[in-house]
Amino acid sequence: MSESGLAHLVVAVLRRDVMASLRRGSEWSNPLVFFVMVCALFPLGIGPQPDRLAELAPGILWVVALLASLLATDSLFRGDFDDATLEQMLLSHQSLYPQVLAKTLAHWLMTGLPLSILSPVLGVLLQLPATGMLALMVSLLLGTTVLSFIGAIGAALTVGLRKGGLLLSLIVLPLYIPVLIFGSSAVKSAVAGGEYFPQLAMLGVFYLVAIALSPLAICGALRISVDQ
Amino acid sequence: MLGIGSKFLKENSALSISSTFHKWGSPRWFYQFSARLMPWLAGLSLLLLVGGAVWGLAFVPPDYKQGNSFRIIYIHVPASAVAMGAYMTMAIAGAIHLIWRMKLAAMVMKAIAPIGASLTFLALLTGAVWGKPTWGTWWVWDARITSVLILFFLYLGIIALHQAFENRDAAAKACAVLAIVGAVNIPIIYWSVEWWYSLHQPASISFTGQSTIHPTMLRPLMATLSGMYLFFGWLLLLFVRVEILDRERNTRWVQDLICGESR
């Protein structure tokens, strides 16, 4: 296949998935609503003192963003599996890797990207100091992409199962831990007035490795799920 | 002449590799082969574990700082070492199953998950019991403890995924993929937890850790460590043998085996 053909394929899948998700609406808005609601629960749970909230805000925001991304992951291949689009993808003479890459990127565009854009608003709600806002947004932009790609492996493994939801979180959460560590640490460093580029650089490494390697695992997992 | 010879040699060695592979892949052959291995493994591991434990518990002098509480090392260290190694073995078995479709590798993988999870749990439990007198608390968010906890989670994920599938082949393949992804991630997780811990303010409880261990304490540890490896091997063979009987229960040789015993 020529290079332009490959790019064409990626763009076509990307456009199709983004359009479908936009038209359905709830698919991209539900994780956002979840993000806002759970963030609002924390002050109710631990008390409204601004300094205490400010101290906990980086961790809370990152953990809740991670959970929101996780909950959205279950639907990544579900619809395509149910109406057998996935089977057609596997049967088609186009290679699976770029299609999977495009699907996962489209999923991130509809979940991780809005989460990252919305995060400063929730940072304000949780009294996150202004110095941490940029680090929060950038770390979430990079980090949620990695989360989407790791989550896609789990989604591909569990898509053929009837009760996938909880299982997906069990198998994916341990793999999320490095991203959480570096993401929240970047925000904490920024709040403390320190250097946070090293953490972002590490997230950048995860980003590149996840984009390059995880589609291989996703392709393998999808073949297993469709074959069974 | 030389060309023909080397070609013949190549074909011959390829043949012998593939035939070894087939032999190892045959559940029946493995069942019969492992039967000869079982008593040796059981005897040696029992000897080393019990001997090492008695040696370590009764004859080694107490630690000058920790007193007698350090003696739990003779269970704690072997359990954690074998638990770590078991995950890698599981991932390698998973890769073998995916690449060469070897059924035996799938059985090994399935068998390791519960054993590894139990050993990890044992490591965490003994660590907590050790931590109470040494650090004054059951649990510390220390880098190594956290890594072992995450390893425990990875094992639980594999077990949960295996149970969720009704189709045995799909379960094995899916778990193989997950085990490989986990194995790729383990160094990253381990390293980022180390990094995370170095950012934490140092705990008020300090390790006695870095100091080198005295030879009189080390020798029994080596005994229990190798005993634990052998015990793991024995348990693994036992689980795989049960799995073989279960999978092959409709074949002639298993029926002969079972009926022959009952007659």
Q: What is the reported pLDDT for B15?
A: 54
Give the residue from A163, A203, A224, A225 with the most B CB atoms within 10 Å of its CB, the best one to mutate: A224
**The whole model's pTM is what?**
0.88
Size of interface A-B (CB pairs under 8 A): 77
Give the residue from A170, A179, A208 with the most B CB atoms within 10 Å of its CB, the best one to mutate: A170
Tell me what the mean pLDDT of segment B132-156 comes to: 87
Mean of all residue pLDDT scores within chain B: 84
- Pick B159 or B28 by higher pLDDT: B159
Binding-site residues on chain A for chain B (CB distance < 8 A): 153, 157-158, 160-161, 163-164, 167, 170-175, 177-178, 181-182, 185, 202, 206, 213-214, 217, 220-221, 224-225, 227-228
**Helix locations, chain B, DSSP H:** 2-25, 27-54, 73-100, 103-135, 143-164, 168-199, 215-247, 252-262
Range of the structural domain that residue A162 is part of: 3-227
The H or E element spanning position B204 is none
Q: What percent of chain B is predicted at pLDDT more than 70? A: 84
**Is B217 in the A-facing interface, judged by CB distances under 8 Å?**
no
Q: What is the reported pLDDT for A186?
A: 94
Number of compact structural domains in chain A: 1
The DSSP-derived string for A90-129 is HHSSS-HHHHHHHHHHHHHHHTHHHHHHHHHHHHHHTT--
Chain B residues closer than 8 Å to A157 by CB: 161, 174, 177-178
Report how far residue A185's alpha carbon sits from residue A203's, in angstroms, rounded to the nearest whole number: 11
Cα–Cα nearest to B225, from B38, B84, B64: B84
Tell me what the mean pLDDT of segment B27-34 comes to: 88
Report how far residue A39's alpha carbon sits from residue A65's, in angstroms, rounded to the nearest whole number: 9
ipTM for the predicted complex comes to 0.89
Task: Check A217 against B160: CB less than 8 A apart.
Answer: no
> Which residue from A157, A202, A206 is facing B174, i.e. has the nearest CB?
A157
Task: Check B177 against A178: CB less than 8 A apart.
Answer: no
Q: What is the reported pLDDT for B71?
A: 84
Q: What is the reported pLDDT for B12?
A: 52
> Which residue from B160, B173, B192 is facing A167, i.e. has the nearest CB?
B160
Residue B14 has pLDDT above 60, yes or no: no
Tell me the Cα Rg of chain B: 22
**How many residues are present in chain A?**
228
Cα–Cα nearest to B147, from B187, B107, B108, B175: B187
Residue A221 has pLDDT above 50, yes or no: yes
**Is B99 in the A-facing interface, judged by CB distances under 8 Å?**
no
| Residue B180 Cα to chain centre, angstroms | 15
Q: What is the reported pLDDT for B47?
A: 94
pLDDT in tens, B181-219: 999 888 888 888 888 877 665 544 444 544 467 777 788
Residue B15's CB is within 10 A of a number of other CB atoms, namely 10
Token look-up 């993929």 returns B177
Q: What is the reported pLDDT for A56?
A: 92
Cα–Cα distances (Å) from B190 to A135, B147, B187, B194, B253, in that order, read 24, 6, 5, 6, 46
**Is B194 in the A-facing interface, judged by CB distances under 8 Å?**
no
Domain limits, chain B: 37-203+213-257
pLDDT in tens, A22-72: 998 888 899 999 999 999 999 999 988 999 999 999 999 999 999 999 999
Sorting pLDDT into bands at 50, 70 and 90, what band is A111?
Answer: very high
Tell me the Cα Rg of chain A: 18
Which of A86-90, B11-15, B153-157 is modeled with the greatest confidence? B153-157
Report how far residue A123's alpha carbon sits from residue B167's, in angstroms, rounded to the nearest whole number: 46
Long-range contacts, A130-137 (Cβ 8 Å, 24+): A131/A190, A131/A191, A131/A193, A132/A57, A132/A58, A132/A187, A132/A188, A132/A190, A132/A191, A134/A190, A135/A186, A135/A187, A135/A189, A135/A190, A135/A191, A135/A196, A135/A200, A136/A58, A136/A61, A136/A187, A136/A190
